[in-house]
Amino acid sequence: MSSLDFSTKIGSRRFSNPIFTASGCASSGQELSQFFPISEIGAVVTKSIMTKPRTGRATPRMAETPSGMLNSIGLQGPGIDAFLENDIPWLLANSAKVIVSIAGETVDEYGVLARKLRAVSGVSAVEVNISCPNVENRGQVFACHPESAVAVIESVRRNIGGELPIVAKLSPDVTNIVEIAQSVINVGVDGLALINTLLGMVIDTNTMKPKLAGKTGGLSGPAIRPVAVRAIYQVHQAFPQTPIVGMGGVSNGRDAFEMVLAGASAVSVGTATFGNPSAAMQIKDELSNLLLEKGFNDFRDAIGFAHRGV
Ligand code: SIN
């Protein structure tokens, strides 16, 4: 049986395998550790953390849709100080590779979060979530405009110091995702997370009212996978040297493989975890078997394979 080099890189950091959790779907990993050793996946990407504790939006804030779900959580979380005190030590004590996702209401808040992270050792990268669909003010979806996306990334870069890789999480709700990617690559991001959820809505035909208290929500799950594959393919084609963490409806190893072929250097598992808490581990094993079956001995040779000779 041939062996596989399953490792991958984002910026200066190496990960033992390319299967990560998706931000927001596994909190900081504690619950998942009942099901498998958290150190065995490539990285835990934590729920986007803000400067202050937040209760999030009113309920109901989740709704089922065909092949997917809508969420309108509103970035609930303990705030950066409690997160750094409790969650990071737990993750590091459990030998997890950690990518901290941050979200702010203003450009300055991202800078404050980055400055706090600067003092923390053992973190592998920061995911800058500039694409949350559930903010009250749609003007705060920084990833919808190149200028605001750039302002956030510059603020994070100024404040974080050192070599910590910065991964910008982009929204699919734009006309030209390559243009947004270009803007943040120009100011030095080390990687991109593609894609966040798509803005959607469900109306209950019995009550004749929106199902979510927040009215709109982010659509995730298998329904959005072709959108994610398209975005990854387009961005990889334009910027083949920029690592992409792909996500959006990955439920099995074949779905993950599709994203890798499109150009993803790593794949995050999100919504699938709600139905199957061991999904990330299963997908890791399935992807590794599939790569070997297809004749790959080095995971990195499969990244962007769908572009070759096209
Ligand atoms: C949320 O907490 O509202 C979701 C975060 C996100 O999709 O970025």
Give a yes or no: residue 138 inside a domain.
Answer: yes
**Exposed e or buried b per residue across 110-129, where buried means at least 16 C-beta atoms within 10 angstroms of its C-beta:** bbbbbbbbeeeeebbbbbbb
What is the whole-number distance in angstroms between the Cα of residue 132 and the centre of ligand 1? 5
Give a yes or no: residue 293 inside a domain.
Answer: yes
Closest by CA to 44, choosing from 55, 54, 33, is 33
pTM: 0.97
- Known active-site residue 144: no
Q: Given a cut of 90, is residue 160 above it in pLDDT?
A: yes
Give a yes or no: residue 39 inside a domain.
Answer: yes
The whole-number average pLDDT for the span 42-61 is 97
* DSSP three-state, residue 114: helix
How confident is the prediction for the chain on average, in pLDDT?
Answer: 96
The whole-number average pLDDT for the span 264-286 is 98
Looking at residue 1, what is its pLDDT?
58
Tens digits of residue pLDDT in 207-219: 999 999 999 999 9
Give a yes or no: residue 1 inside a domain.
Answer: no
Omega before residue 60 within 30° of 0, cis? yes
Q: Which residue's C-alpha comes closest to atom 2 of ligand 1?
A: 75
Between 114 and 136, residue with greater pLDDT: 114
Residue 151 to residues 139, 142, 155, 188, Cα–Cα distance (Å): 14, 9, 6, 12
Give a yes or no: residue 263 inside a domain.
Answer: yes
What is the whole-number distance in angstroms between the Cα of residue 15 and the centre of ligand 1? 25
Q: Given a cut of 70, is residue 258 above it in pLDDT?
A: yes
Looking at residue 64, what is its pLDDT?
95
Measured from CB, residues less than 6 Å from any atom of ligand 1 are: 24, 48, 71, 73-75, 129, 132-134, 196-197, 218
Domain limits at 274? 8-56+73-199+222-304
Looking at residue 138, what is its pLDDT?
78
Q: Given a cut of 80, is residue 169 above it in pLDDT?
A: yes
Give a yes or no: residue 310 inside a domain.
Answer: no
Kindly give the number of the ligand 1 atom that is closest to the alpha carbon of 74. 3
Give a yes or no: residue 135 inside a domain.
Answer: yes
Give a yes or no: residue 207 inside a domain.
Answer: no
- Number of domains composing the chain: 1
The whole-number average pLDDT for the span 279-308 is 98
Whole-number Å distance between alpha carbons of 111 and 104: 9
Whole-number Å distance between alpha carbons of 268 and 287: 13
What is the whole-number distance in angstroms between the Cα of residue 228 and the centre of ligand 1? 17
Q: Which two tokens stand for residue 310?
A: 């096209």
Residue at 234: amino acid letter: Q
Q: Which one of 46, 196, 212 would you pick to mutate in the ligand 1 pocket, going by the greatest count of ligand atoms within 8 A of its CB?
A: 196
Here the CATH number for the domain that contains residue 273 is 3.20.20.70
